[in-house]
Amino acid sequence: MARALALAASVAGRTRPNPPVGAVVVRDGVTVGEGATMPAGGPHAEVTALSEAGDAARGGTLYTTLEPCCHHGRTPPCTDAVLRAGITHVIVATRDPNPLVDGGGVARLRDAGVAVEVGDGEEQARQLYAPFAHWVTSGRPFVTAKYAMTLDGRIATRTGHSRWVSGPEARRLAHRWRDTHDAILVGVGTVIADDPSLTTRLGNTEREPHHPLRIVLDSGGRAPLGARLFDPALPGETWVATTDRMSTDHAAALFERGVTVLTLPEDPDGRVALPALLDALGERERTSLLVEGGSAVLGAFFAARLVQRLRVFIAPKIVGGARAPGPIGDPGIATMDGAIAIEGAGMDTVGADWLIRAELYDPWPPHERTRDECSPVSSKSWAASAR
């Protein structure tokens, strides 16, 4: 299962809207086939592993990080392939949160006489599939809020200087997160202050970096056209999420640079309505969104309770200053008993910094099917109807 989980992690960020799955076929203690999910429309991990194994799969064991699917999506059900291959044991890390599967795949295999065990490597698998679980049940991308602050809670000095708060190891890790996300978002304030390119840089690894879709929240069209993000030579795509307040000239100039302009409804403060943005991203099959700030954007996401996962670097340094900004801006909470409580947070050290990790909510559907009731509808139409 460790090998299957490593295969799954190797394709994270590259399979949307499908979840990244790893599968290994073992016969008489020897690995005879393995596979990882290909981009949407390509074969699922189990099918790749089974076809690599061929006849050697007969009487063998399939390890898979996610319950085999039992519905017709863009490809035929994996449960059929497992049965055809003559597999007698299936070890599954976690059941599929997709309401079209959710226990149905396991039930179909058991009904056919295959011995199925669920739960080996489950905790790691659920971390990996939290974005897919959220998207497939809500129709919106799973939102991770990420920021780096000093020990006194500042993301920049009183002059606005912010490079860098955290150390090189933390920044490298942040690039690995970009590599596994479908989309990344910043506000126009960050574009004006820092002029980031938001591309993924993995350093000296063999992995080809994945550049997530870059989104700028810019309700009034204030981001300068010369910003690095609007450079047509950047790898990957850039979108500007805006409102009717952006001038048509500005929108046309962005379009000329290859930038997609997404005009969305306004919230009562005249900014882009975040629920509408998340719906639009979910419809376009973006299952995970990394929000990198700045404080106005993070303030709006937290105020609307739209954050599912938190990743915070704390640097062991102090800058002080009443005007030095904190990570989460307006509107903020009025009284301490209204604070957003974070439960079960974990902490690691990354270089000289600390990393706080917390899940703000569990996206896993609570119920599990025990019968084979796999639906013929595609997951895409289910996600659309779930809203």
CB of 96: closest distance to Zn ion in angstroms? 9
Tell me whether residue 343 is exposed, middle or buried, using C-beta atoms within 10 angstroms of its C-beta: 0 to 12, 13 to 18, 19 or more: exposed
Which residue, 57 or 360, is less far from Zn ion as judged by CB?
57
Q: How many CA atoms lie within 13 A of 71 on its CB side?
A: 19
Which residue, 78 or 306, is less far from Zn ion as judged by CB?
78
Alpha carbon 189 to its chain centroid, in Å, reads 24
CB of 198: closest distance to Zn ion in angstroms? 32
240-260 core/surface letters (b: 16 or more CB in 10 A; e: else) = bbbbeebeeebbeebeeeebe
CB of 306: closest distance to Zn ion in angstroms? 30
The residues in 37-96 that bind Zn ion, with binding defined as CB under 5 A, are 44, 69, 78
Residue 46 catalytic?
yes
Q: Is 101 in the site for Zn ion (CB under 5 A)?
A: no
Binding mask 185-214 for Zn ion (x = CB under 5 A): ------------------------------
Number of other residues whose CB lies within 10 A of the CB of residue 264: 20
Beta strands per DSSP E along 198-323: 213-217, 238-242, 260-263, 288-291, 309-315
Question: Total number of residues binding Zn ion (CB under 5 A)?
Answer: 3
Spot the catalytic one: 34, 46, 67, 292.
46
CB of 86: closest distance to Zn ion in angstroms? 18
Q: Is 241 helix (H, G, I), strand (E, B) or coil?
A: strand
Which residue, 358 or 377, is less far from Zn ion as judged by CB?
377
Binding mask 5-44 for Zn ion (x = CB under 5 A): ---------------------------------------x
Which residue, 38 or 350, is less far from Zn ion as judged by CB?
38
Length of the chain in residues, anyone?
Answer: 387
CB of 69: closest distance to Zn ion in angstroms? 3
Tell me which DSSP letter residue 19 carries. P
**Integer distance in angstroms from the first to the last C-alpha of the chain?**
34
Q: Is 42 helix (H, G, I), strand (E, B) or coil?
A: coil
Structure tokens, 330: 């307006």
Which residue, 44 or 95, is less far from Zn ion as judged by CB?
44
Where along the sequence are the contacts to Zn ion (CB under 5 A)?
44, 69, 78
Q: Which residues are catalytic?
A: 46
